[in-house]
Structure 1
């Protein structure tokens, strides 16, 4: 926005200024940049939609940091690292058609569960293929061939000595791998008695 005459005093010039505001948030004081136009004569402050949007985004960034959530730029970096468009990410993770645009621009603050899911998909290589298989993108040519379909079957065999969970056996896979003599490979428990 160009500098223009103050509407309050009709003499001063409105000049863009950025100050740091202290904002109380959940027991913390956040240092948030606040951009506005200020009259150089009477000190009147004017905000337009552009500056309100910039200020809201700056506040959301600081809130995300305080809540230990990814900032918009971090979400964008993760999404691009997973080779997903914003639309694809929304289809896989949920949140609506334009959710990732809003997350990445810091227009909204994602939920803790959404944040956890995004982080898990980034850190656990086998999670994204599963999420894709459960989404509307499961038949998309982009995701064919990159992922191995693994079907799991739970075995509640009482002879298996697992305290916390049943054994899991791979009973079918789209790629061949060495299986045991019984036709399947048992995934071992770490907490066997």
Structure 2
């Protein structure tokens, strides 16, 4: 148990070595690094934040280097290295930004456009128009630019037709 925000916090999976002769317990340098991550993850869990491993998995899912993630989300050049090693606990707003990026395509598109970056994993939008062709496409960039209406191109038999699709109010 360690004190955290005025309360005891249980940290599990701590690493140490024990002498088989005398029973003395010591923490070796490699074990200390693992323990730092365990401490950070316990604190992050208490605060409702992503763990060190979740941040690394998120970054790799979107094929971002640590430097690219820092450029996209902020926090400084070495921020994501520190978040992943448990050296720094990221803010609630950083956590929310990463979660929104992960879950909402419009957020990904807006942030990558502002940062002048591209993501190889960003899927294209597919819109199905009832009563028309089985598939129509509208670019996500077009959808961000105007939530009012989008011109979608749909196959109708062997020819393409334009459809005006309204979004929002």
Calculate the TM-score normalised by the size of structure 1: 0.58
How far residue 98 of structure 1 moved from its aligned partner, in angstroms, is 2.4
How far residue 100 of structure 1 moved from its aligned partner, in angstroms, is 1.7
Task: Give the 3 Å change call, closer, same or farther, for CA 142–72 of structure 1 in structure 2.
Answer: same
1:130 matched residue in structure 2: 110
1:81 matched residue in structure 2: 61
How far residue 49 of structure 1 moved from its aligned partner, in angstroms, is 3.4
Contact 2:15 2:31 survives alignment (8 Å): yes
How far residue 84 of structure 1 moved from its aligned partner, in angstroms, is 2.3
Tell me how far apart the structure 1 counterparts of residues 119 and 44 of structure 2 sit (CA, whole Å): 35
Tell me how far apart the structure 1 counterparts of residues 28 and 101 of structure 2 sit (CA, whole Å): 39
Unaligned runs of 5+ in 1: 1-21, 153-167, 189-193
Q: Deviations over 1:130-161 (max 9, x none)?
A: 111222xx166969x97625435xxxxxxxxx
> Aligned residue pairs: how many?
142
* Residues 1:102 and 2:87 are matched in the alignment: no
Q: Deviations over 1:47-92 (max 9, x none)?
A: 4433322221111111111111111221222222323232221111
Tell me how far apart the structure 2 counterparts of residues 109 and 29 of structure 1 sit (CA, whole Å): 15
Tell me how far apart the structure 2 counterparts of residues 59 and 71 of structure 1 sit (CA, whole Å): 10
Structure showing greater radius of gyration is 1
1:55 paired residue among 29, 35, 45? 35
Contact 1:64 1:109 survives alignment (8 Å): yes
Calculate the TM-score normalised by the size of structure 2: 0.65
Matches within 5 A, 1:12-161: 22-26=1-5, 27-41=7-21, 44-135=24-115, 138=116, 148=141, 150-151=144-145
Tell me how far apart the structure 1 counterparts of residues 98 and 25 of structure 2 sit (CA, whole Å): 40
- RMSD of aligned residue pairs (Cα, Å): 3.2
* Structure 1 or 2: more strand by fraction: 1
Tell me how far apart the structure 1 counterparts of residues 43 and 167 of structure 2 sit (CA, whole Å): 46
Unaligned runs of 5+ in 2: 125-139, 153-162
Tell me how far apart the structure 2 counterparts of residues 115 and 98 of structure 1 sit (CA, whole Å): 16
